[in-house]
Amino acid sequence: MWPLTWADPGWAAASAQRHHGRVSYPGSYDALLYLSFGGPEGPEEVRPFLENVTRGRGVPPQRLDEVAEHYHHFGGVSPITRLNRDIMARLGTELADRGMDLPVYFGNRNWHPLVEDTVGRMADDGVRRALVFATSAWGGYSGCKQYHEDIARAREAVGDRAPDLVKLRQFYDHPLFVHANADAVRRAYAELDTSSREQARLVFTAHSVPLKADEQPGADGSPWWYFRQVHETARLVAEAAGVDGYDVVWQSRSGPPSVPWLEPDIVDHLDELHAQGVGAVVTSPIGFVSDHLEVVWDLDNEARQKAEELGIGFARADTAGTDPRFARMIVDLVTEHLDGQEPRKLSALASAGCTTNGEPCAPGSC
């Protein structure tokens, strides 16, 4: 077991106990679980991965065939796992630099290393209580509630030995997340030639989700949270990048056409912008933490091709995960939680998602 300690007493909270220049937190944490989505790492893994993602979700088989092709286009390998390992490497360095002795474990919802196996390994290693960082900035079902379900399922699979798992909050409006995205937007503008730069429209994208008409606005897992937060992040990023006008659109819709999802889609929106006479776009995939398959296929491939057909200039901003500030933000979320600090957030809209052992995310609770 590894007690969480600080080499630098400057990080200490009033409640911490100091001895030998290190600070330990009574009743605190042995580890950090980095929880993500997962992705295939070879052609034979594509189909079973997709079966895991869509189990019981009513995604039509034709859509699965189509998405399988996107993965096969890249040799059956999603970049997501490599990118997560890169982020975890920077996270390890950041923790070490701050003198925090907190081992990081990696588990995924849909592919290896599966969170069930990781939590089992944590128990084997004697971890009794761990923090969880999930790689989604958002509320709503896919971004928040489903990660709580993952936590509960993994603990159930491990049984009595399972550590307590305390999830960190949603980070859609964390200043380091917002500024990493804003600087990426500035760099993307700089990629356009000078004449298109001046008239380029800033277009934010996030993963579309199904709208459930009968749902209580703001209820746990509701698309309402997700929608509001994506719009807040877009506003904050545009402001920090010094851009006045912008649009928020959606991408990567699945599910049967009869079911309503958030619209418009980025590709349709390019037609609309073209009709308005817009000559260039900068797209910013704020909905995603890294350049995984939905970004490199749906934006770098489909949307870029559509823009070329229409003769519209096109640049895509980097995702926040590659920015060193992202790993710093994760450690800030840890210290914020441990020290009971006021959340560092730029929006007045609530954050949630900080519950224990997969209890539902109560809006406004963090």
Q: Does 321 bind ligand HT9 (CB under 6 A)?
A: no
Does the annotation list 284 as a binding residue? no
Residue 224: count other Cβ atoms within 10 Å of its Cβ. Answer: 18
Q: Does 326 bind ligand HT9 (CB under 6 A)?
A: no
The residue assigned the tokens 């380091």 is 176
28 or 142: whose CB is closer to ligand HT9?
142
Residue 256: count other Cβ atoms within 10 Å of its Cβ. Answer: 11
Q: Does 284 bind ligand HT9 (CB under 6 A)?
A: no
Does the annotation list 308 as a binding residue? no
Contacts of 56 (CB under 8 A, 6+ apart): none
Q: Does 63 bind ligand HT9 (CB under 6 A)?
A: yes
Min separation Cβ 289 and ligand HT9, Å: 7
Quick check: 338 and 4 in contact, CB under 8 A? yes
7 or 64: whose CB is closer to ligand HT9?
64
Q: Positive or negative CA dihedral for 257, 262, 263, 265?
A: negative
Residue 107: count other Cβ atoms within 10 Å of its Cβ. Answer: 24
Provide DSSP, 232-265.
HHHHHHHHHHT---EEEEEE---S-TTS-BS--B
196 or 290: whose CB is closer to ligand HT9?
290
Q: Does 282 bind ligand HT9 (CB under 6 A)?
A: no
Does the annotation list 44 as a binding residue? no
23 or 293: whose CB is closer to ligand HT9?
293
Q: Would you give the DSSP letter of residue 32?
A: E
Min separation Cβ 58 and ligand HT9, Å: 8
Three-class secondary structure of residue 19 per DSSP: strand
Cα 110 to Cα 55, 234, 254, distances in angstroms: 10, 28, 17
User: Helices 61-73 and 43-54, interaxial angle, to 10°?
Assistant: 140
Among 39, 76, 107, 313, binds ligand HT9 (CB under 6 A): 39
Q: Does 54 bind ligand HT9 (CB under 6 A)?
A: yes
Give the binding range for ligand HT9 (CB under 6 A) out of 13-21, 132-140, 182-190, 234-242: 132-140
Min separation Cβ 60 and ligand HT9, Å: 9
How far the first Cα of the chain sits from its last, in Å, is 28
38 or 163: whose CB is closer to ligand HT9?
38
Does the annotation list 207 as a binding residue? yes
Q: Does 55 bind ligand HT9 (CB under 6 A)?
A: no
Q: Does 299 bind ligand HT9 (CB under 6 A)?
A: no
Instruction: Tell me the one-letter amino acid at 182.
Output: A
**Residue of this chain nearest to ligand HT9 (CB atom):** 254
Q: Does 116 bind ligand HT9 (CB under 6 A)?
A: no
Quick check: 209 and 262 in contact, CB under 8 A? yes
Q: Does 223 bind ligand HT9 (CB under 6 A)?
A: no
Which positions lie near ligand HT9, rule CB under 6 A? 37, 39, 50, 53-54, 57, 59, 63, 67, 78, 80, 135-136, 138, 142-143, 207, 209-210, 252, 254-255, 287, 292-294
